[in-house]
Structure 1
């Protein structure tokens, strides 16, 4: 974690996830000892209030990503409709011209496999982002739990 000069100060942070990745990238794939090192670094740099703010921002990002996850499915539903309509239109017009349709099933299968591959890639990428956000949130929550309660008492005179 010797990159402290490259890491933004608290007031300059625009994206909590990007900031946490600057502190330690890919922490969700690291060993427990590296995660403990990450937590020590976070506790050294930030107080409880700042860590709670980070957790809140990560929760917001997680909820937004979960909420808009249906857009991937909607995109492929619309794409399937358009491709199906286009193929139907093209096949009807080509049939009128007397063309042979020996390759039509293969073309439909290739379009289907291409759409399926695209859906798998996008879904996998989105799952990775949700996993990353969840991991950072968990580590920040552990930081909060490990931080001692500060109690200041005033003496009455």
Structure 2
């Protein structure tokens, strides 16, 4: 059986929010360096290179892992797709939105930039994860820049990541 349906789409101009983030030695040596070590990657000698390796190379590796996990584990069986709006956890605050442009500065010099590819809803450490949509956990492990993470497959190739 085949069904053909027209899907309306709208094109809007978009001016992304640009964040200028100052990266400190404290952040590099207490966060970026530790993330590289926990990811079993060699730690460069300079603070700037530590941050860039974390933000570029490790981020790229993590995105490949996410992509592979989702592709290898999504439910390919026909499912009743009853998706509801994704709701943030009670008490969580929005810290970043999808599509923001981030410029990273170290010692007042721009050293890197990246697009933000998700929505950051910050809660307290070790908070329980509740999802507003049913699904199957397909990943639960440490994931570099994301830390301890869970990926849930909701069917039809839709997954959500909680970190």
Q: Same fold (TM over 0.5)?
A: no
Q: Which has the higher helix share?
A: 1
TM-score, L = length of structure 1 = 0.26
Give the structure-2-normalised TM-score: 0.26
Tell me which structure has the larger Cα radius of gyration: 1
